[in-house]
Structure 1
Amino acid sequence: MANTRSSLKRARQNVKRNTRNKIIRSNTKSTVRNIVDLVKTKAQDALDPQKIYSAYLL
C-alpha cells in the first residue's frame, strides 16, 4: 500500500513548502518590479530639464 501515513505526511509537507516558495517568489518579483519602477522615475526626474533648472535657481 503506497499511501502510508508517512508518505501522506510527506506529500502534505511538500505542498506546504511549494506554496510557501511560490508566495516568496511572487513577492520577490513584485518587490524587484517596484524597485525598478522607482529607479526609472528617479532617473527620469533627474534628466528632466525643468527640474534641473529649478534646482539650479535654488
Structure 2
Amino acid sequence: MGSSTRLAAHYDMRAQHRESLAAARAVPLESLTDRELSLREQPVTIFAMRAEKSRLRYE
C-alpha cells in the first residue's frame, strides 16, 4: 500500500507536533533572553532591496 499524497502535509504536521510535545515533557522549555536574542543590535530580517543594492555595488 502506498502513502496518501493528499494528507502527507497533515501527517507531517501531526508528527512534528507530537515530537514537540515529547520534547516539552522531557525537559522544561526555556525562552531566550533579550541578550541572547540581541534584537536591538541585530535585525531579525533584512530587506531584499537592501541586499540587492549591496550586491549590485560589488559587481
Same fold (TM over 0.5): no
Judging by fraction of residues, say which structure has more helix: 1
TM range (shorter): 0.3 to 0.5
What TM-score do the two structures reach when normalised by structure 1? 0.38
Determine which structure has greater relative contact order: mean sequence separation of CA pairs < 8 Å that are 6+ residues apart, divided by chain length. 1
Q: TM-score, normalised by structure 2?
A: 0.38
Larger Cα-atom Rg: 1
